[in-house]
Amino acid sequence: MLGAWNFTFDETSKHLSTPDLLITNIKGLVQVRERNIERVAGNAMSELPILENAFLAVDGDRIASFGNMSGLQSREAKKTIDASGRFVFPSFVDSHTHLVFAATREEEFVMKIKGATYAEIAAKGGGILNSARKLQGISEDELFERSLPRAWEIIASGTGAVEIKSGYGLTLKDELKMLRVAKRIGEQTPLLVKTTFLGAHAVPAGMLKEDYISSILAEMIPAVAEEKLASYIDVFCEQGFFSPDETEKIVEEGKRFGLKPRIHANQLHRSGGVQVGVKTNALSVDHLENIGSEEIDLLKNSTTMPTALPGAAFFLNLPFPPARQMIEAGLPIAIASDYNPGSSPSGNMQTMISLACIKMKMTPEEAFNAATLNTAAALELSHEVGSICVGKKANLFITKPIPSVAFIPYSFGTSYIGNIILNGNLIY
């Protein structure tokens, strides 16, 4: 802990009026950054600055000031929370989800227990095509009603900003429907939502792949851009889905329409996904269960954020990304949930952090950096969220009384979140 840290702010960062919210006696204010930094990589991933015995003031939806309790000039505030014995964290940023979907798929879960592989289930019309059939059969309003509880569920588990993908529509009308629902979630909940067009998630049943790719290029990308429904474009680059060449063609067309790439890469095979991600200057390459030194070397010479999805590796019994090797090579790592009905039916970032620690041998400090600062960078939100920094959005959670930061991943499966503040408002 960095109890001796002494933060000094210029005049503009001192709150001049009575703050809307003052949190006092904070046992540890986690991820405090005097100056905003974009992301952390390599050895710097293990530095998680914590200010002991701290206060934090919120004005409107912004962090107005913070510091040691000894430096708190006035206790006047519209609302005060005494956080004795409790830690304050910046909300998690979940940079990879598919949380808009029509129905769960626990029947496939049972098939997998009995020995079927993900690829075998997909080949029988299960998997993504199963989700697409169900989603195509319901209205936009119905899809919103079914997806909204998942948004509130991730809020309750500490997430404040989230990326949501399409990819269970697989027709022009249904992909647009999914993205409209994802945007509505951003409008009707306190979550900060970024959306991604993932038309190239699977080839619809009964359609030739080349015809579907033509439709993505000629119809879907222009329509998504026209309605401003997404910031990003994604492709499931994987054997049996889309090849690296097809991926490149699709994301390059997306780029022409202002959609920046992020890629599903190297989940089931060493499919060339990382190579095409780096080549197309993708913001992130996500999954990485199957990578080696070649992919790690390529990522070292790029700005692409390597993103682990430990929930999917766990749920599908896949190898976990080689986090130690990646960090030793100087890479950053981000951690996201991949919340979806087929391969990671959990959007709980505390669980993801536990898995990263237990299965990927990341330290709690590295895992928290990966799930806040680095995911914010992967979503181009570093200026807004991901750390406790004056001027950033007041998206935070206050824990229940706990002994240390490591206690959170250690107590896997139990949440120690006490209060949630999003956009400066107390939500729970």
Nearer CB in complex with ligand NIG: 286/384: 286
The residue count for binding ligand NIG (CB under 6 A) is 12
Dig out the tokens for 19 from the structure. Answer: 């703050």
- Contact present, 169 and 132 (Cβ < 8 Å): yes
Q: Does 314 bind ligand NIG (CB under 6 A)?
A: no
The one segment of 143-151, 189-197, 336-344, 383-391 that binds ligand NIG by CB under 6 A: 336-344
- Contact present, 151 and 159 (Cβ < 8 Å): no
Q: In the complex, what is the shortest distance from the CB of residue 177 to Fe ion, in angstroms, rounded to a whole number?
A: 19
The one segment of 35-43, 54-62, 146-154, 337-345 that binds ligand NIG by CB under 6 A: 337-345
**Residues 178-185: contacts with CB under 8 Å, at least 24 apart:** 178/100, 178/135, 178/143, 179/224, 179/227, 179/229, 179/230, 180/140, 180/227, 180/229, 181/100, 181/140, 181/143, 181/144, 181/147, 182/100, 183/229, 184/144, 185/99, 185/100, 185/144, 185/147, 185/148, 185/151
Q: Residue 342's binding partner, choosing from ligand NIG, Fe ion, none, with beta-carbon cut-off 5 to 8 A by kind?
A: ligand NIG
Out of 39, 249, 264, 279, name the contact with ligand NIG by CB under 6 A: 264
Out of 246, 248, 338, 366, name the contact with Fe ion by CB under 5 A: 338
**Binders of ligand NIG in range 269-288 (CB under 6 A):** none
Nearer CB in complex with ligand NIG: 20/163: 163
Q: Select from 389, 338, 331 the least CA-distant residue to 362.
A: 331
- Contact present, 235 and 263 (Cβ < 8 Å): yes
Nearer CB in complex with ligand NIG: 31/131: 131
CB-based burial of residue 127 (10 Å sphere; 0-12 exposed, 13-18 middle, 19+ buried)? buried
Q: Does 338 bind ligand NIG (CB under 6 A)?
A: yes
Q: Residue 351's binding partner, choosing from ligand NIG, Fe ion, none, with beta-carbon cut-off 5 to 8 A by kind?
A: none
Q: Select from 141, 96, 116 the least CA-distant residue to 336.
A: 96
* Alpha carbon of residue 388 to chain centroid: 18
The one segment of 80-88, 109-117, 147-155, 332-340 that binds Fe ion by CB under 5 A: 332-340
Out of 90, 127, 158, 160, name the contact with ligand NIG by CB under 6 A: 127
Nearer CB in complex with Fe ion: 338/366: 338
Q: Does 266 bind ligand NIG (CB under 6 A)?
A: no
Q: Residue 90's binding partner, choosing from ligand NIG, Fe ion, none, with beta-carbon cut-off 5 to 8 A by kind?
A: none
The DSSP secondary structure of 277-288, one letter per residue, reads HHHTT-SEEEE-
User: Please, what's the b/e burial string for 349-365 (b: 16 or more CB within 10 A of its CB; e: otherwise)?
Assistant: bbbbbbbbbbbbebbbb
Distances (CA, A) of 350 to 40, 92, 159, 305, 413: 20, 9, 9, 20, 8
**Binders of Fe ion in range 231-250 (CB under 5 A):** none
Q: Does 311 bind ligand NIG (CB under 6 A)?
A: no
Q: Residue 131's binding partner, choosing from Fe ion, ligand NIG, none, with beta-carbon cut-off 5 to 8 A by kind?
A: ligand NIG
Q: What residues form DSSP beta bridges with 420?
A: 397
Q: Does 289 bind Fe ion (CB under 5 A)?
A: no
Site string for Fe ion, 368-387 (x = CB under 5 A): --------------------
Q: Residue 375's binding partner, choosing from ligand NIG, Fe ion, none, with beta-carbon cut-off 5 to 8 A by kind?
A: none
Distances (CA, A) of 383 to 2, 97, 220, 334, 378: 24, 21, 31, 17, 12
Nearer CB in complex with ligand NIG: 276/312: 312
Interface contacts to ligand NIG, rule CB under 6 A: 127-128, 131, 236, 264, 267, 312, 338, 340-343
Interface contacts to Fe ion, rule CB under 5 A: 338
